[in-house]
Homo-oligomer: A and B are copies of this chain.
Amino acid sequence: MAAPTPGRAAGTSEARHGAGTKSERTRERIVDATARALNARGYAGARLSDIAEIAEVQAPAIYYYFSSRDELIEEAVSVGLARTMELMSEALAQVPDGTPPMNRIRVAVAAHLNTLLTHSDHAAAAIRTVPQLPKEMRERQFDAQRAYLAIWRALLDDARTSGDLAQDIDVRAALMVVLGALNWTVEWWDPERGSLETVITTAQTLIEHGLAA
Contact = CB atoms under 8 A, between A and B. Distances in A.
Interface of A: 41-46, 131-132, 166, 168-170, 172-174, 176-185, 187-189, 194, 198-199, 201-203, 205-212
A212 B212 CA distance: 12
Given A42-B45, A45-B43, A184 B180 contact: yes
Contacts of A166: 205, 209
A211 B206 contact: yes
Contact of A209 (B131, B170, B212): B212
Contact of A169 (B46, B194, B206): B206
A144 to B, nearest CB: 16
22 contacts: A42-B43, A42-B45, A44-B45, A45-B45, A45-B132, A168-B205, A170-B194, A170-B201, A172-B194, A173-B198, A173-B202, A173-B203, A174-B202, A177-B181, A177-B184, A180-B182, A180-B184, A180-B185, A184-B184, A206-B210, A209-B209, A210-B210
A159 to B, nearest CB: 13
